[in-house]
A and B are shown apart, each in its own frame.
Chain A
Amino acid sequence: MSVLRGLVIFLGLIVAWQALVWLTGVEPYILPGPLAVAGALAARWSLLAGHAGYTILEILLGLAFGTLLGAASALLIAAFRPARQWLLPVLVVSQAVPVFALAPVLVLWFGYGLASKVAMATLIIYFPVTAAFTDGLRRTDPGWLDLARTMGGSRLAVLRVIRVPAALPALASGLRVATAVAPIGAVVGEWVGSSAGLGYLMLHANARLQVDLMFAALFVLAVFAVLLYFTVDRLLRLALPWQAEQS
Chain B
Amino acid sequence: MDEPQRRDIAAETGAPVAVHLHAARLSYRGAVVFEGLDLDLPAGRTTCLLGPSGVGKTSLLRLIAGLADSEDGGALPGAAVDQAGRPVHDRVAYMAQQDLLLPWASVLGNVLLGPRLRGEHRQPEIARRARGLIAQVGLKGREDDLPARLSGGMRQRVALARTLAENRPIVLMDEPFSALDAITRFALQELAARLLAERTVLLVTHDPLEALRLGHRIYVMAGSPARLETALDVRDGAVDLPPPPRDPGNADVLARQADLLKRLARAREEMPELP
Instruction: List chain A positions with a Cβ less than 8 A from chain B.
Output: 141, 143-144, 146-154, 157-158, 161-162, 165-166, 168, 240-243, 245-246
| With A146-B94, A150-B94, A151-B113: A245-B103 Cβ-Cβ less than 8 Å | yes
Contact of B93 among A146, A150, A154, A242 (CB under 8 A): A150
B130 → chain A closest CB, angstroms: 14
Contact of A150 among B92, B98, B116 (CB under 8 A): B92
Residue of A at shortest CB range from B97? A143
Nearest CB on A from B160, distance (A): 13
User: Taking the complex as formed, is B179 at the interface, i.e. its CB lies under 8 A from any CB of chain A?
Assistant: no
Q: In the assembly, what is the distance between CA of A147 and CA of B89, in Å?
A: 12
A153 touching B118, Cβ below 8 Å: yes
CB proximity of A85 to chain B, nearest CB, Å? 19
Q: Which residues of A contact B113 (CB under 8 A)?
A: 147-148, 151, 161
| Any A CB within 8 A of the CB of B146 | yes
Task: For the complex, give the distance between the alpha carbons of A149 and B114 in Å.
Answer: 10
A147 near B96: Cβ-Cβ < 8 Å: yes
Could you tell me if A146 and B117 are in contact, using CB atoms closer than 8 angstroms?
no
Task: Determine if A151 and B148 form an interchain contact, defined as CB atoms under 8 angstroms apart.
Answer: no
B119 interface residue (CB < 8 Å to A): yes
Contact partners of B93 in chain A: CB under 8 A: 150
Chain B residues with CB below 8 A from A157, complex form: 116-119
Measured CA separation A241–B92 after assembly (Å): 33
Closest B residue to A154 by beta carbon equals B117
Q: Verify if B153 is at the interface (C-beta below 8 Å from A).
A: no
Q: Which of B52-67 contact A (CB under 8 A)?
A: 62, 65-67
* Smallest CB gap from A151: residue in B: B114
Which B residues are CB-close (under 8 A) to A153?
A: 114, 117-118
Docked pose: A41 CA to B166 CA in angstroms = 66
B104–A165 contact, CB under 8 A?
Answer: yes
Q: How large is the interface on B (under 10, 10 to 19, 20 to 34, 35 or more residues)?
A: 20 to 34
Complexed CA–CA distance, A157 and B118 (Å): 7
Contact with A along B122-136 (1 / 0, CB 8 A): 000000000000000
What is the predominant secondary structure among interface residues of chain A facing chain B? helix
Q: Which residue of B lies closest to A247 (CB)?
A: B148
* Cβ 8 A contact of B148, one of A146, A148, A242: A242
Q: In the complex, what residue of chain A is closest to B67 when comparing beta carbons?
A: A146
Cβ < 8 Å to A, chain B residues 103-122: 103-105, 113-114, 116-119
Q: Which B residues, 76 to 104, have Cβ-Cβ distances below 8 Å to chain A? A: 89-90, 92-94, 96, 98, 100, 102-104
Which residues on B sit within 8 Å (CB–CB) of A165?
A: 102, 104-105
Determine the residue in chain B with the shortest Cβ distance to A146.
B67
Which of A166, A241, A242 has the most chain B CB within a 10 Å cutoff? A242
Q: Which of A149, A152, A162, A168 contacts B67 (CB 8 A)?
A: A149
Q: A143-B96, A246-B148 are in contact. Are A148 and B102 (CB under 8 A)?
A: no
CB-CB contacts of B165-189 with A at 8 A, as 1s and 0s? 0100000000000000000000000
User: Does the CB pair A141–B90 fall under 8 Å?
Assistant: no
What is the 8 Å Cβ interface bit string for chain B, positions 147-166, against chain A (1 contact, 0 not)? Answer: 01100000000000000001
A149 and B100 in contact (CB under 8 A), knowing A158-B117, A245-B148?
no
Q: How far is the CB of B169 from chain A (nearest CB, A)?
A: 13
